[in-house]
Chain A
Amino acid sequence: EPEVTQTPSHQVTQMGQEVILRCVPISNHLYFYWYRQILGQKVEFLVSFYNNEISEKSEIFDDQFSVERPDGSNFTLKIRSTKLEDSAMYFCASTPPWGSHNEQYFGPGTRLTVT
Chain B
Amino acid sequence: DAKTTQPPSMDCAEGRAANLPCNHSTISGNEYVYWYRQIHSQGPQYIIHGLKNNETNEMASLIITEDRKSSTLILPHATLRDTAVYYCIARTQGGSEKLVFGKGTKLTVNP
Query: Interface of A with B (CB < 8 Å)?
Result: 4, 30-31, 33, 35, 42-45, 48, 50, 55-56, 58, 89, 91, 93, 95, 97-98, 101-109
Contacts and interface: CB of A to CB of B under 8 A. Distances in A.
A95 B36 CA distance: 14
Contacts of B93: 102
A102 B97 contact: yes
A83 B99 CA distance: 25
Summarize B's interface: helix, strand, loop or mixed.
loop
Given A45-B98, A45-B100, A97-B95, A106 B49 contact: no
B44 A89 contact: no
B30 interface: no
Interface centre among B38, B44, B49, B87 (most CB of A within 10 A): B44
Contacts of A89: 41
A48 B98 contact: yes
A108 B45 CA distance: 10
Interface of B: 34, 38, 41-46, 49, 87, 93-103
B44 A103 contact: no
Given A101-B49, A102-B93, A107 B98 contact: no
Nearest to A107: B43
24 contacts: A4-B43, A31-B96, A33-B98, A33-B99, A35-B99, A42-B102, A42-B103, A43-B38, A43-B44, A43-B87, A44-B101, A45-B98, A45-B99, A50-B95, A55-B96, A95-B95, A98-B95, A103-B34, A103-B49, A106-B43, A106-B45, A109-B41, A109-B42, A109-B43
